[in-house]
Amino acid sequence: MKKIIALLLAAVLMLPVCALGAEAEGSVLNIYCWNEEFKTRFEAFYTMPEGVEVNWVITPSTDNAYQNALDEALLNQEDAAADSRIDLFLVEADYAVKYSDSDFTLDVIGDVGLSAEDVADMYPYTKAIMTVGDALKGVSWQACPGGFIYRRTYAKEVLGTDDPAAVQQFVSDWDKFGETASKMKNAGYFMLSGFDDAYRCFSDNMSAPWVVDGMIQKDPVIEQWIAMTKEYTDLGYNNKANLWSAESSAGAGADGKVFGYFGPAWFIDFSLAKWTLADSTAEPAVGNGSWGDWAFCQGPQGFSWGGTWICAAAGTDNLSLVKDIMYKMTCDRETLAKIVEEYGDFTNSVETMTQMASGDYRNEFLGGQNHLALFLENAQNIVRAMSTAYDQTCTEKLMAAMVDYFNGVVDLDTAWDNFFTAVEEVHPELSH
């Protein structure tokens, strides 16, 4: 039913365009996004046809401003002049479903015109998130599989080895992970930096969606994360840091006592590597802080974290251009390979990444390890069909509410109550 409406809507909106033929496509391509991540890649690798101008509408995501602006524009799409209609917009993993499960996005295959073959090589989970019914409502140039990044020196000291394959044996499931944590604690180290580190491992593997029929779920997998984190906190296995806090980054420094962090490719390059430097003015090299003293293993559970998808807006007046951009930026292997080289993204092509993984790629920060192969396996294992439009709110509010429980300020029931209250304030249609 929904799909029929979507198709009808799309058909009606595009009638005038189609009637005039492809030549009459709009002269302005409007792209809505919240940062310059896509813009830099787009400008580097896509050549616009003559006579069409790109209009970037960049709204910061602070205080939900991006989604507010995007929603207003989408809701006014029908009344807007052809050249001011949204053509493309970007969404993030935590709220992607809000847009994919709506009539405002076009089916990439059915409406936009990419073929099933074009998207066949993409990682399955990147398609699962954006699939509603039979329709694929957005595509991404990147995949964000994660793993466990640990400090080699501490591994050698406590576990007797720093070889990724051997260390993986010590953290291959959560029981072993806990045992290793206890060993680390006895040696004076913290297994994890803080409360939220392991969250994505669990939230990406939930047994049910956050919300079912308007009821917020207490998922057993999430309860497992809470119980484990509370236990780790009380036993002193973690450094009690919040995600992105100064304490969390200091844990990776030369004097830091944190054994490991969970994260995807972008976390290693952008966050962790910088935290490890003792002298940030000097070249990042072995000997500068703990740089180079790290290694990557798969950890207890495959998971993903983050990611940006491109959606085509219903009512676009540049459909063939939209199709071409989507193809070039997310399906074209040549472009994807260049993005890996230029920007260090883990791109969304199984084949490209497999080729690069088997090459002579070495990551000096990870002590010369070629970790792409490990990422590959994790990326294939990600199952993410549990997304809802409420994931962003639930994740943020859960972390905030549970900190009080971990710190012993409130008991577990109060923390859950605070979580439910916070979510229901934001989404009045929900209850528990």
Partner 1 sequence: MTGNTTAAAPVRHRQWTRARVLLLLKRILAYTVLILLSFLCLFFFYLLLVNASRNHGDIQTGFSPVPGAFFGKNWETLMSSTELPVWRGMFNSLLVSGCVALLSTYFSALTAYAIHTYQFRLRNFAFKFILLVMMVPSQVSVLGFVEMMNDWQWTDSFMPLILPSIAAPAVFFFMKQYMDSALPLAIVEAARIDGSPEFTTFNMIVLPIIKPALAVQAIFTFVSSWNNYFTPALIIKTKELKTLPILIAQLRSSDWLKFDLGQVYMMIALSILPVIAVYLCLSKFIIRGVAVGSVKE
Partner 2 sequence: MQHNEIPARHKSVSYAKWGYIFLIPFFLSFCIFTIIPLGRTFYYSTFEYFRSGLKTIGPTPVGLRNFVEIFSKADLGKYLWNTLWLWLLGFIPQIIVSLVLAVWFTDTRLHLRGQGFFKTVIYMPNLIMASAFSMLFFALFSDGGPINSAMEMLRMQPYSFLRNVAGTRGLIALMNFLMWFGNTTIVLMAAIMGIDTNLFEAAEIDGTNAWTTFWHVTIPLIKPVLSYTLITSMIGGLQMFDVPQILTNGNGNPNRSCMTIIMLLNNYMGKSKNYGYGGALSVILFVITSVLGLLVYYVLNTDEREERKLEKRSRMGGVQL
Residue numbers of the site for partner 2 (CB under 8 A)?
Answer: 63-64, 67, 71, 74-75, 98-99, 101-102, 104, 240-241, 245-247, 250, 389, 393, 397, 400-401, 403-404, 407, 409-410, 414, 418, 421-422, 424-429
**What does the DSSP assignment read for 300-360?**
SS--B---EEEEEBTT-S-HHHHHHHHIIIII-HHHHHHHHHHH---BS-HHHHHHHHHTT
Closest contact distance (angstroms) between CB of 61 and partner 1 is 5
- Output DSSP code: residue 96: H
Picked from partner 2, partner 1, none, the partner binding residue 418 (CB below 5 to 8 A depending on kind) is partner 2
Count residues binding partner 1 (CB under 8 A).
26
Q: Which of 8, 20, 65, 285 binds partner 1 (CB under 8 A)?
A: 65
- Binder to partner 1 among 170, 232, 237, 266 (CB under 8 A)? 266
Q: How crowded is residue 262: how many other Cβ atoms within 10 Å of its Cβ?
A: 22
Q: Which is nearer to partner 2, 319 or 401 (CB)?
A: 401
Q: Rounded CA gap, 421 and 401, in Å?
A: 10
240 binds, among partner 1, partner 2, none (CB under 5 to 8 A by kind): partner 2
Query: What residues from 274 to 293 belong to the interface with partner 1 (CB under 8 A)?
Result: 274-275, 277, 280-281
Q: Which stretch binds partner 1 (CB under 8 A): 28-36, 105-113, 144-152, 354-362?
A: 28-36
Which range of residues in 57-65, 99-107, 405-413, 421-429 is near partner 1 by CB under 8 A? 57-65
Nearer of residues 70 and 206 to partner 2, judged by Cβ: 70
Tell me the pairing of strands 238-241 and 190-194: parallel
Instruction: Report the candidate in 368, 371, 372 with the shortest Cα–Cα distance to residue 293.
Output: 368
Shortest CB 320 distance to partner 2, Å: 26
- Least separation in angstroms between residue 238's CB and partner 2 is 13
Q: Given candidates 3, 9, 14, 35, which one binds partner 1 under the rule CB under 8 A?
A: 35
CB of 82 to partner 1, least distance (A): 18
Task: Pick the closer one to partner 1 by CB: 173 or 279.
Answer: 279
Smallest distance, partner 2 to C-beta of residue 327, A: 27
Sign of the four-CA dihedral 102, 108, 113, 115: negative
Q: Of partner 2, partner 1, none, which one sits near residue 120, judging by CB under 5 to 8 A according to partner kind? A: none
Least Å distance, CB 415 to partner 2, is: 9
- Closest approach of partner 1 to the CB of residue 275, in Å: 6
Which residues contact residue 362 at a Cβ distance below 8 angstroms, ignoring those fewer than 6 apart? 368, 369, 370
Q: Which residues contact 71 (CB under 8 A, 6 or more apart)?
A: none
Strand partners, 212: 215
Amino acid at 224: Q
In the bound state with partner 1, the residue whose beta carbon lies nearer, of 168 and 363, is 363
CA–CA distance, 239 with 191 (Å, rounded to integer) = 8
Nearer to partner 1, 35 or 182 (CB): 35
Q: What is the DSSP string of 132-151?
A: ETTEE--B-SB--BEEEEEE
Residue 361 interacts with partner 1 (CB under 8 A)? no
Burial degree of 82 (CB within 10 A; 0-12, 13-18, 19+): middle
Parallel, antiparallel or unpaired: strands 211-212 and 294-297: unpaired
What stretches of 163-221 adopt beta strand conformation (E)?
190-194, 211-212, 215-216
d(CA 203, CA 423): 17
Per CB under 8 A, 271 contacts partner 1:
yes
Residues 6 or more apart in contact with residue 45 via CB below 8 angstroms: 328, 329, 335, 338, 339
CA pair distance 126, 122, nearest whole angstrom? 7
Closest separation in Å from C-beta 96 to partner 1? 16
Q: How many helices (H) and strands (E) does the chain have?
A: 19, 13
Q: Interface with partner 1 by CB under 8 A: which range of 2-10, 33-41, 104-112, 325-333?
A: 33-41
Choose the one of partner 2, partner 1, none that binds residue 132, judging by a C-beta under 5 to 8 angstroms depending on kind.
none
CA 113 centroid distance within chain = 26
Residues near partner 1, by CB under 8 A: 34-37, 57-63, 65, 69, 246, 249-250, 253, 266, 270-271, 274-275, 277, 280-281, 343
